[in-house]
Structures are given as structure tokens and as C-alpha cells.
Chains A and B, each alone.
Chain A
């Protein structure tokens, strides 16, 4: 996580980079268009969103019960289950499993939850080689960067930048900017690594409590490789990923792929319910699931904010966010950017550190309109904004409640409250303002950098209404 620089300077970097802005603009245009092509029929979209939302509501409302059931089913399926309260604990569990298996080379499928616990950095420090295998993640890892989008990790990079990174790392291959050729070169490089890996690590899209089934949604096949070729498979899942039954899967899968990339369905929907059985010839010999809390149970305790946990990580709120479109993912300095990021991250990591992220929202509501599980993101972001400056509501759940209250800003709102809360006082003020309109400032901070300031009118509406003889009560 890049919180070393201030939010202001990260935003400045992003807005100052024209190439980056144009990469994001065209990528978001593309994703928005692709999604809307898949949801032409308004009625079926409404009923699909209702179903998906209700399934996720059910998961979150019954979380403890479903997690216990999930664990039982997984164990029945010969999959070992570990519970991790924190990122550190999750990393240690994973390291211990790898160490016991004497695993030195690990391949990983795309997984945001392992980004969240910074597993790569941790395993690096333990001298375990961990290789990203999703093409986008692989490129991002080669460039020593972080994903800038939860579904399209390398979306910030142009083809030329990618070609350069690729040829720097693999000088044996001829330099090319041809996407097909780069893809084939990556295939060649990574196939050997899949075969040689001692362990595979993956995330989980849905974990079915009823049958103990882990579901992975992907297009490339690297997720299948990571969970099939190495002798050991470790899946890391946030505790919110559980769903009750297999029958929950069709609506969720359908709306996930359409919302995320505008695909009817992804190339692979991989449902894993056990390691290699005694008569089978391939598949991992042992499997582990790490159920990660990392702040989720805390979020779960607040009825309003718990809707955050319904998220299925499709990224469509990000794709439709006009602020993300301007900035791209890195400016957020967090694992999850965009509307879901500014909702989730301050709750996980505290308001002292991340409360200012809630300012990255115009309250336009585009995110909530497209969220496949109907998370009321602007409402939650607004609630968090109040938690940043007012200290009463969620002290026991979120660190740093009230910590972002700034004296000047707070003072301004006190003045505002006195004037606007008292109609007589307001009348006097507005009369004065209209009289003194010539005193209107030419510059007000950043506002006037981009706009001419509008002077107050000569008369207020109240005065005009009175002159026009409109009844006033």
C-alpha cells in the first residue's frame, strides 16, 4: 500500500499524467460500454440484481452459521481449514503450510485478498519465490508495481510500457508490441513455472457452504493451473465470500461476469470440492483454505456498514466512478480503489490513516446504480464522512472516529448552522450579501482556478417573491 505520499500529492501525480488519464478514460469507456451491452433489458437486470442482492444479504446475515457449515463441508471434503483474524496471522499460516511442505516455488492466481495481506512481500522476506500468473498481475509484478484496478490490474499501462518491461526481463525474446506475441511469450515462460511449482495459491470468488465448494471465475486458465498442477493448493478467502448453497451460484456468476467485463460468462468457472481423490490422476494432493477476517467481523457489527461485505468484487462501481476515471487506481494508495475502496479501506485500516479517502467522491451515485448486489455506496461513504468528523456513532467499530475534524472546517459549519438555522439571521445575511455583491472575491481556492466566480444576485429570491406578491405563508 502506498500511503507514503500524501493523498494530495498522489492526486497531483495522477492528474498531471496525461498518458495515464487517457489510458484510464479509454479503458473505463470500454468497460462501461461492454457492461451496458449485456444489460439491454431493464426488467431482467432488475430481477437479477434483486436475486444477487438477496443472496448476498442472506450470506452476510447468516455469516457465523454459514462459516461453520462451510468449514464442516470443507473438512468432509478433505480440505483443511484455517482461521486468520489478521493479515499477519494469515501470512504466518500460509508460510507454515508452505514450510512444512518444503515448498520454495509458488505460483499464484489473481487474488485481491492476497494483495490485501501483502502475501507476496511476506513470502519474499521468507525466501519463498511467489509468481503472479494472471497476465496482468504478472506484468504488474515484473514492473514492481501494484494493481491499479481489481479486475484489470495492468489497466494503467500502455502496450508500449508493457513491451518495454517485458523485454527488459526477458531479453531472449524479440521485442514486440504485438499483444498476441507478448501473450504467447508469457504463455511459454509461465507454463514451465506451473509445472515446476511446489504450491499454488488462489483466491476464492464464492465458497459454497452446502457442498464445501470453492469457485473461481477467470478467463485465462492460470487459476486452473495454480489449483491443479502443484501438489499443494492454498486458497485464501475473506470470510464474506461464503454463500449458502449451489443454487446461489447461477445468479451471482451471471451478474458478476456481466458487471465486471461485460462478458456473458468467463471462459472458466472452476468449482473445486476436494484435492485429488485416491483414484484420480491429477489435482493437488492436499488443499488448505485460509478464512480471513482482517476487519470484516468488525464491519459486520454495524447493521448499516455491514452492506460493505456484500461486495462480489466485480469492479463495476470503479468502472463507473467519474473520480476513478480521472485518477486511476494508484492515487488511492490502497488495495481496493474507487467507491468500494473508499468504503471498505477506512473501515479496515482506520480513519486516522484513510479517512481522507472519503473525499474522493462527488456523491453522484453512479456506483450504486450499477452495483450488482445493490450496495448503497454513496450512503455508506456519506456515513463514513460523518465518522471522520463526528465522534459519536461507531467508536467501537472503527479506529480514528472523529480524528479528521479540522478546526477551521468545523468552525465554518458552526457558523453555517447558526445562520441557516435561524431564518431571521439568514434574512439579514442574504440582504447584506446581495447589497455587497461587488465585494464577491475573484478567487476562492481551487474553485476559481477552473471557473469564474459567480457574484450573488442583486436581489434574493425572497425579495423577488415579495415584490411579485407571492404569498409567504
Chain B
């Protein structure tokens, strides 16, 4: 059996969280996986799809299909991008001639934490300092991908990490892609509620498997001059399990 996987980094990770993407690939490599990062990849199409621009989405989605030809898993460090492909592409392509080709991508998609837990059953050894964190499981990981507990399972292996639970943990942070721009004030009110709930835990950092949420929550925390940091799960795991740097 081949131990190769594709890594679909996502557009936000590519430009804003590349270290999280790299950390994700390094974790996979450490597990003996051969990672391929196809250089032609750009975006799953989610931003346009959520805005109603399906024709434009199709064009971009098609450009991705060519990048992942081998029949090996595709690992995505984001619940919403994984959800976009796994759950929205079938609908997007349902009346298209290349539905079959699209489905061959769809069927191989894994969210990053899902793959670590379900396929690799990874064992983590925590080398980091004691810390207290809060977890923000993204709505896509929870409602669309139904893998929200994988991040908790991974973090529970980290012996020096204490997880604090915020109020209304499962409530949306208000990102919603273009929602945050189109309905900026509603989104702002939502993210402020989210940061208040997080602040009330006294955690030093909020961890998520979703960079969209992190950009939203992290940006708001910064705006409020909060001491709380935000970090992607892949980065968090890599930093704590890779020995002193």
C-alpha cells in the first residue's frame, strides 16, 4: 500500500498561515507519510460558492481536479475547505459532465485532524511547557464534516496542555467567509461575543482547525489588545512535539 498523500494547503493557509501548512506536512512526514504538495493548487472555490457565484466556482474547482490525479488521500488543514469539496462539490457538479472526475477527488478528502486520528492513529508526546488553551471547533468541522472531536482527541494527548471550555463553545464565530464583509456589523457583534467568551476562560491561546475562524477571532483579539493568542492545530502540535527549537 502506498503511503503517499496529497496536501491541499488552502488559499488562506498559503498566504496567511504557511507555517501551519508546513507544520501539518511535517507532522505527516514524521508519521512516515510521503507528502506531495501539488504546486498547481490554488483554492477549493468556497469563497465564490458561498457568494452564489457557481460558474466561477466551477472554473476554479476544475483547475484543482487536475492537481490530484493519483488515487491517494487528500489532506486539508481546514474543516471548511474539506467540507467544500466533500459536501458541496457533489452538488456543484451534479449536472456537469465531469461529475465523475470531481467525485474521484471528493471521495479522497480528509480534514487534517480527521486523518491524524482516524487513519494514522497518531501518538503525540508533549514536550512543551504547561499551558492553558481553549479550542474553537469550526462550524464546518462540526456540522458539515462531523469531525469536531478529533482536535480534542489530539490535544488530550498533550500532557501539559489544559483545555478550558468557553461558554457557547459551538456557536459560530461570525466569520462565514464573505459574510464578514457583507454583514460586517453582525459579524463584528458575533466575533465580539466569541472573544468575550474566550477571554472569560483565561486561556492563553485559542486553537482551531480552521484558519478562517482564526483570522477572524485572532484579528478581533488583537484589535481588543488581548493577550490571548490564536494558533492553528497543526502548528500547535508541531511546536509542542518537535522538541526545543
Contact = CB atoms under 8 A, between A and B. Distances in A.
Do A and B touch each other in the complex, judged by CB within 8 A?
yes
B55 interface: yes
Which of A12, A360, A379, A421 is packed against the most chain B CB atoms within 10 Å? A421
Interface in B36-82: 36-43, 45, 47-56, 59-60, 62-63, 67
A426 B67 CA distance: 14
A416 B48 contact: yes
A457 B52 contact: no
B22 interface: yes
Interface string A389-426: 11000000000000000000110011011011111001
Given A15-B186, A390-B55, A417-B59, A451 B191 contact: yes
A326 B109 CA distance: 34
A385 to B, nearest CB: 3
B164 interface: no
B37 A472 contact: yes
A365 B37 contact: no
Interface string A2-45: 00000000011001000001000000010000000000000000
A190 B215 CA distance: 54
Contacts of B37: 461-462, 465, 470-472
Given A326-B189, A464-B22, A365 B35 contact: no
B15 A450 contact: no
Interface residues of B, number: 77
A362 B25 contact: no
Interface stretch (A164-172, A278-286, A441-449): A441-449
- On chain A, which size bracket covers the interface? 35 or more
B238 interface: no
A409 B56 CA distance: 12
Interface in B185-227: 185-193, 215-216, 218-220, 222-223
Contacts of A434: 15
A327 B189 CA distance: 10
B51 A423 contact: no
A450 B187 contact: yes
A471 B53 contact: no
A364 interface: yes
A454 B52 contact: no
A435 B102 CA distance: 34
B51 A385 contact: yes
Contacts of A67: none
B180 interface: yes
A450 B179 contact: no
Interface in B156-199: 168, 170-172, 174-177, 179-193
A470 B22 CA distance: 10
Nearest to A415: B56
Contacts of B51: 385, 389, 409, 413
A365 B176 CA distance: 11
B54 A390 contact: yes
B91 interface: yes
Contact of A366 (B41, B67, B172): B172
B17 interface: yes
A420 B63 contact: yes
Interface stretch (B110-118, B126-134, B138-146): B138-146
A21 to B, nearest CB: 8
Given A364-B143, A386-B54, A471 B174 contact: no
A11 B189 CA distance: 11
B102 to A, nearest CB: 15
Interface string A352-387: 000000111111111011000000000100101111
Contact of B25 (A323, A359, A463, A470): A470
A263 interface: no
B188 A450 contact: yes
B35 A471 contact: yes
A414 B56 contact: yes
Nearest to A392: B55
Contacts of B56: 413-414, 416-417
A68 interface: no
B34 interface: yes
Given A359-B182, A365-B143, A465-B22, A386 B52 contact: yes
Contacts of A422: 63
A387 B43 CA distance: 23
A331 to B, nearest CB: 9
A362 B176 contact: yes
Contacts of A136: none
Nearest to A323: B186
A460 B19 CA distance: 9
Contacts of A472: 36-39
Contacts of B187: 362, 446, 450
Contacts of B48: 413, 416-417
A275 B99 CA distance: 56
24 contacts: A21-B189, A362-B174, A362-B175, A362-B176, A362-B179, A365-B142, A365-B143, A389-B51, A390-B53, A390-B54, A413-B56, A421-B62, A421-B63, A423-B40, A423-B41, A434-B15, A454-B219, A456-B16, A462-B37, A464-B18, A465-B9, A465-B21, A465-B37, A470-B36
Closest 10 CB pairs of A and B: A446-B184, A362-B176, A451-B219, A365-B143, A385-B52, A450-B188, A364-B172, A364-B139, A461-B18, A423-B40
Interface of B: 7, 9, 11, 13-19, 21-22, 25-26, 34-43, 45, 47-56, 59-60, 62-63, 67, 88, 91, 139-140, 142-144, 168, 170-172, 174-177, 179-193, 215-216, 218-220, 222-223
Interface of A: 11-12, 15, 21, 29, 322-323, 326-327, 358-366, 368-369, 379, 382, 384-390, 409-410, 413-414, 416-417, 419-423, 426-427, 430, 433-434, 444-447, 449-454, 456-457, 459-466, 468, 470-473
Given A450-B223, A465-B7, A470-B25, 10 more contacts: A362-B179, A366-B171, A382-B52, A382-B88, A389-B51, A450-B192, A451-B219, A461-B18, A465-B21, A468-B22
